Structure 1
């Protein structure tokens, strides 16, 4: 970490602690981890005091550094002033009236033919050889002084950084422990976000392996087929059969992946899961051929099987893909049966895939072996990747061969040979499997229809509830408004009747007539007299009918108008405007003020402009800078022929707002830029 990272580390710990404290009761399991965090805000504040956000050491990091940098500024100003005087007095010997930096020293540009006429040190020549970069004797002392101050500044910066590093050293052990804790919290957060994104669930621990509607997380969620896998004792071996490319290996990998994810504390993408605690996980998937080790596919399998047989225990999980494959089918089948027989005696949990008929028969004859298959769509001649428990799948090799372009006569003859070796039991088993698959498809279609109907019903229920609530709300609102209207009318009528009685008792008949007129006009508003539509003009002060709004007309045509009411523009019909009895107050005194620019850069780039274009832009920019009371500005004019630079200097030489002009230092753009110090307002 650099020092700013160390400072941020403490604030990170504070934010995390405050967040979890604010969410009291939600993260009690993390309380011990949070309380273990140790940090020093004093250290962070000291680092931030000394180090700027850009990583530079601040002037106020120490009194000495501030003093040295101030001395450096004064020294450089004096150095440039001396250089300017020297250039003016030796102009005939120079190729240009500028200075530049060579070997960290300020030098002037001397004609090669006049280098022996000037006393000083040469620091190099131009590419053309016509100019030498010379440090005159007049600049020697100040150049030395400048380099000495720069060296002292570097030493002081090193001292400050060392001091801060020593402070960090005292907290290093605690901060290292914090990093481990924060990494742990970060991993918890990542796992939680993953679980939310994939709608995953946390597994339970048990003696059975049950994964309901498992979805492999690396397969597109719109294409993945959810399958349920179950191995429930006394069955401890699952034998999955079916065609090649049918999804047997995907099922094997899904089970293994979900077991390992659960052991890593991750939720898995399924609806519900129970997984045993295995001491070891053995996997034999893929051909693992090796030229280096002279291993064929079969040899590689044998090597793994030998290791598994030597190290497996009753608490192990073993995943075997295409057991006995890669060699002669008859011998491979016999070897597979023998290996399964041996491993079953050790009583681990086994998941194996095969398409050997002998292994299927072997599985049917042992009650502790659960048979399953992956479905194959015979109509479309493609796998569905759907896992079906309790069935032995067919390899469908002949159907697949036809799909991949093998001649029909070859496939047909193969079918004839297959039929000759079939038994009545094989035919009945195949018919049973087809019936089971068809039944399952019907059940799935029915389940989808039920889900769809349930969703439609839920949506209808929501709409009914919404409109019922809207109806009640509108009725209540109407009742309230009617009650208020009646109350207002009654109050007005009572007041007028009372006044009528007073009039009648006093005998003042003319007041009674006036009150009767007021009653007849109860619903009318006290409108101001309308001005003829042709008399209205932009700038007139008007009122808007049926409102209490008054303002000034900003825009007007035959039908519509825009009225400015307290700074807000109101669009209304022209016929709704009335000449107001009030007159627009004009108490504001008219004054001419120049607005200050709200944002200003202290740099102006004039590169690429002609002199007659650049000088007006410069004048406008200079006016803005003076308004903003800018302390200094940098004008970038580039190197080129020097004509633009000379024109700028000549133009600003007698400007009363310019305090000082100089060419830039190395880090300021050198002779390609002019630094102008402006006179500040008192």
Structure 2
């Protein structure tokens, strides 16, 4: 239950603002009816749905179906006295067809969880949609074959019309026709076909006059020899209309038989359009979903309407009411931001209870049963009530109805009457509300109300920060600070007469005591300390952000260095393989093998990219070491068998480093690597046609290194036929290469003598 005017805490204004981001009248209606949830579990459920919807609209490339025409269709469906047009059925069919496409695209690209129930209540109704499209054209005409009866009627109607045209054409093109024909056209008038003749037509033909033009010179005449045919033509038109109405009524009955499904669909789509409005409203700004407990704690909380208006110039507030605090008193000068802070806490509490995200760094709220407010000018001219009396009427209602589950927001309590009595009344009201267990946030200028923070447990004091040098409010709340109203300082900044200000100071000195002056000095010291603490906290956060950025850069640099080292080691391995292939002395080969082994070990120890945990068969991963996408084919113990763009090899699970691809990335990857997946036995080949022996060997040498590192057993070397010099030169080198088990010319099925097949160790 919300027992207060939403207008006072800007909730109604917020709803109007949110509606500006709506793309459907359905969501605008939903926003109009928006009220907070009473159950915390309902709030959390709504938060989860909105959170998932924001992710969906952020990732989803499609659009929600346009509902403008369907909104009017649904209004008609609810009205038993509505008249229906043929185009209404096309509106229904088009919308539900689009719904089907929308659902299919969402479930194809997005993992629906919290929105599953919502989507399950969206009914596509394909049978009715197909039936409508089979009977009605897109431009809203019932098709001839919508029924056998309609086909017969229209066929006969067409034949009768053709006979009438034939008869009438013979008259207007016959002998002496120019003497009585006004225009050589055939007109349809009141569903009867007739001619435009002159007044003397009876000298030449018999006929019935149906109408005369204003000048009396043109007569609409139905010749006697087409009267019977026109009678039948008119009858067929009526029969056609009856059959069309019968077909449409049958379709309408089918639609109405699905009233439950249509209503469920509309309710679900209302929420989706509403979620889309939230997505559009939030934009790129940071937000949080509040937690709910027995305390209020907000950090960097913006008033949403002020945030929209001032953008980055909006000043957020920090505010806290712990479990043992019942009253928060906000003090400070006029125009310092007290009321704005009060409204900000009020509206964000309501928005949080609606399940909506808040513009804040973090937020923890209480799920109050009731929220009461007394903010702004309460004067009622209609009831002949003064401002103070109107406030008292409202506050009486609050006092009578508040309890331990209530949040009470009071702006300038007790003002508008004799100050001392107003102050006493304000203190008494706050004490009463404390006894009822209500949480109270109050703004005040009264020192007596302010001093309650020093006399009562469970009362916390906040002061608004104010720049007296530039005469500007800072709109920031400082806990523990007793904010001053400082009317004399403000009067001075407004250039009041100096004699008035001097006299006021003397009067103030008469009222003041040493104790009060000391309290003011202590208060100013508190303000300086709070400002210093705030500055240090902001500096600390800034340093933490910079430290985080440095760590990211350090990790990126480490990855780049590892990648560079891996490239250098790979090149070194290639050089060692060249050396070994030259058949140098056996003792030197032993030393080469030892160096090669050390390089391989070092390459395996490099951490290139982040480790990917919990990989499963079917996952697509981008391996940082190779910069390519691989698919996990099998997992056995601590190893995985992968397919990297056609190259299949085994890799230890803790060596799988890089990133796991999302659903959309998988989709793209599937499109890219179709040929590799389809080919059962991929040929790992290199084309060297047209190169010299030295050029060809330089490329083949690196290719063999890659083949061995990738675990290939066989490669195809395409050198072409030509003179045979390239083939012979490569064969001579391959004979002495210790990486090669054997090689042979490919048989005809494998490509013939233009290809050499190399088996690797």
Normalised by the shorter chain, which TM-score bucket?
0.5 to 0.7
SS in 2 for 1:281: strand
> Are the counterparts in 1 of residues 89 and 132 from structure 2 also a CA contact under 8 Å?
yes
Q: Counterparts in 2 of 1:286-297, with a 5 A limit?
A: 286-297=376-387
Structure 1 residues 408 and 96 mapped into 2: Cα distance closer, same or farther (>3 Å)?
Answer: farther
SS in 2 for 1:28: coil
Higher RCO structure, 1 or 2 (CA under 8 Å, sep 6+): 2
Give the Å deviation of 1:276.
Answer: 2.0
2:694 corresponds to: 489
Taking the aligned partners of 2:392 and 2:295, their CA distance within structure 1 comes to 29
Which structure is larger by alpha-carbon Rg, 1 or 2?
1
SS in 1 for 2:173: helix
**348-357 or 68-77, which moves further after superposition?**
68-77
Give the Å deviation of 1:156.
Answer: 0.7
Q: Counterparts in 2 of 1:87-166, with a 5 A limit?
A: 87-89=172-174, 90-112=177-199, 119-166=206-253
Of residues 528, 534, 537 in structure 2, which corresponds to 1:435?
Answer: 528
> Is residue 3 of structure 1 aligned with residue 89 of structure 2?
yes
Of residues 328, 342, 361 in structure 2, which corresponds to 1:252?
Answer: 342
Of residues 164, 168, 171 in structure 2, which corresponds to 1:86?
Answer: 171
Give the Å deviation of 1:266.
Answer: 1.7
Taking the aligned partners of 2:461 and 2:274, their CA distance within structure 1 comes to 39
Taking the aligned partners of 2:501 and 2:137, their CA distance within structure 1 comes to 79
TM-score of the two chains, using structure 2 as the length reference: 0.58
Q: Counterparts in 2 of 1:502-581, with a 5 A limit?
A: none
- The Cα RMSD (Å) is 3.6
Structure 1 residues 304 and 105 mapped into 2: Cα distance closer, same or farther (>3 Å)?
Answer: same
Per-residue CA distance 1:49-104 (angstroms, 9 max, x = gap): 11222232222211222232233333333333333222223222233323333333
1:311 corresponds to: 401
Taking the aligned partners of 1:60 and 1:425, their CA distance within structure 2 comes to 97
1:540 corresponds to: none
**367-376 or 41-50, which moves further after superposition?**
41-50
Of residues 123, 140, 155 in structure 2, which corresponds to 1:55?
Answer: 140
Of residues 442, 446, 450 in structure 2, which corresponds to 1:352?
Answer: 442
Taking the aligned partners of 1:491 and 1:27, their CA distance within structure 2 comes to 54
> Are the counterparts in 1 of residues 187 and 194 from structure 2 also a CA contact under 8 Å?
yes
Q: Counterparts in 2 of 1:207-606, with a 5 A limit?
A: 207-219=294-306, 220=308, 221-404=311-494, 406-422=496-512, 423-440=516-533, 442-443=535-536, 446-447=539-540, 450=543, 453-454=546-547, 457=550, 461=554, 464=557, 468=561, 488-489=693-694
TM-score of the two chains, using structure 1 as the length reference: 0.64
SS in 1 for 2:330: strand
SS in 1 for 2:356: coil
SS in 2 for 1:213: strand
Per-residue CA distance 1:443-467 (angstroms, 9 max, x = gap): 2663475367458746854874686
Structure 1 residues 217 and 469 mapped into 2: Cα distance closer, same or farther (>3 Å)?
Answer: farther
Give the Å deviation of 1:374.
Answer: 1.2
**243-252 or 297-306, which moves further after superposition?**
243-252
Matched pairs, number? 495
Per-residue CA distance 1:16-48 (angstroms, 9 max, x = gap): 665565468x44334445455666432322122
Of residues 4, 29, 35 in structure 1, which corresponds to 2:114?
Answer: 29
> Are the counterparts in 2 of residues 39 and 174 from structure 1 also a CA contact under 8 Å?
no
1:569 corresponds to: none
> Are the counterparts in 2 of residues 215 and 225 from structure 1 also a CA contact under 8 Å?
yes
Unmatched 5+ stretches in structure 2: 1-73, 75-87, 579-685, 699-724, 730-761
Unmatched 5+ stretches in structure 1: 494-517, 523-682
Taking the aligned partners of 1:305 and 1:85, their CA distance within structure 2 comes to 93
> Are the counterparts in 2 of residues 103 and 123 from structure 1 also a CA contact under 8 Å?
no
Taking the aligned partners of 2:558 and 2:446, their CA distance within structure 1 comes to 60
**472-481 or 119-128, which moves further after superposition?**
472-481
**341-350 or 41-50, which moves further after superposition?**
41-50
Give the Å deviation of 1:181.
Answer: 3.9
> Are the counterparts in 2 of residues 115 and 132 from structure 1 also a CA contact under 8 Å?
no
> Are the counterparts in 2 of residues 242 and 374 from structure 1 also a CA contact under 8 Å?
yes
Give the Å deviation of 1:435.
Answer: 1.5
